[in-house]
Amino acid sequence: MQSKTKDRKMKRKLGTYINLFTDFGFKKLFGQEDSKDVLIDFLNALLLEKEDKIADITYLKNDHAGRTESDRKAIFDIHCKTINGEFFVVEMQNAKQEFFKDRTIYYATFPIQNQAIKDSKKNGIQWTYELKSVYSIAIMNFKFDDSNPIQKVKHHIMLKDIEDNTIFYNKLQFIYLEMPNFNKKIKDLTTRYEKWLFVLKNIPKLQNLPPTLQDEIFMKVFAKSQVSSYTNEELNEYESSLKNLIDFTNSVATAEKEGIIKGEKEGLIKGEKIGKIEGKIEGKIEGKIEIALNLIKRGFDDNFIQDVSGLSIEQIIKIRKENT
């Protein structure tokens, strides 16, 4: 009886539906075998202009090393392949990092390299250079640039000719979704794509399934996201995943805020003494150092601190030594 009461309290505390920006929520919605139809519907809605719609996918193992422990707290990904041989890398990214675009391009190279076929007879690689399409999709819980007046949600990137803007190569595509820029209300949703963005961003705030979303796929999304349907083990896993998300985003936000404030103060002081330009430069450096210090105190690794602060690894190592 006591155990059941505890379970009910935990479910009430966690809300009606899970946060899909957690590792648990993202994998629950898109990464399980019984979620294929959900992921396919999302991808087809996102790639509305794609002529050949995705009919089926196969989940692939992600064996590529390179992400640090901090990266794994911020980035959750799924790799899959369609029956037509196209590759998809779908990421959920929770924190802004300096080289985020570089990383998405780097990880998109693995599905390209894996298309090389080993020739056992020649003991080498049989490589015709004909490639299947690779799509890298990043669902971002942050903005590329806060100062940009154009609050764009979807960025669809391909290789194009600079002079005449014609598509040079369409088999490598990158789609970035800036979720903070999507602010449509339920009554304003007109397309499948918009409905998906609304669900991804707002499902933790909802108490029930809105009438406009009552079709087979979205009913399944809400059913899979319903906290009351989870086992004790799943509840504990989700609670841990949610705590990681909150701790992570709070740590980064606090480190950046404290660093920026201190940097601005240092810049003002320096500016009064030795000039505005030099003061701004010094202030920025002080701000970066303060961000690095805050992240070091919170246990983040050097690679992640480099991405957030913009300092070099050598500078971060030096700061560690001077403050331990």
The pLDDT value recorded for residue 221 is 97
d(Cα 290, Cα 310) in Å, to the nearest integer? 12
Contact 298, 252 (CB under 8 A): no
The sign of the dihedral angle between the CA atoms of 226, 228, 231, 232 is positive
Look at strands 87-93 and 134-140 and give their pairing: parallel
pTM of the model: 0.75
Contact 31, 266 (CB under 8 A): no
Token output for 114: 């894996």
Q: Is 307 helix (H, G, I), strand (E, B) or coil?
A: helix
Contact 259, 294 (CB under 8 A): yes
Tens-digit pLDDT string for the chain (324 aa): 555 555 555 555 678 999 999 999 999 999 999 999 999 999 999 998 888 899 999 999 876 655 555 566 667 889 999 999 999 999 998 877 767 888 889 889 989 888 876 555 555 666 777 899 999 999 998 888 766 777 899 999 999 999 999 999 999 999 999 999 999 999 999 999 999 999 999 999 999 999 999 999 999 999 999 999 999 999 999 998 888 887 777 766 665 665 555 554 555 444 444 444 444 445 556 767 877 777 777 666 777 677 677 788 888 888 888 886
Contact 90, 39 (CB under 8 A): yes
The pLDDT value recorded for residue 90 is 95
Instruction: Tell me which residue of 41, 96, 58, 69 sits closest to 220, measured CA to CA.
Output: 41
d(Cα 165, Cα 183) in Å, to the nearest integer? 30
The pLDDT value recorded for residue 255 is 59
Give CA separation, 303 vs 169, 231, 248, 282, 317, in Å: 32, 36, 15, 23, 11
- CA 57 from chain centre, in angstroms, equals 21
Cβ neighbour number for residue 29 with a 10 Å cutoff: 23
d(Cα 184, Cα 152) in Å, to the nearest integer? 13
Token output for 311: 């300092």
Instruction: Tell me which residue of 128, 119, 176, 125 sits closest to 153, measured CA to CA.
Output: 176
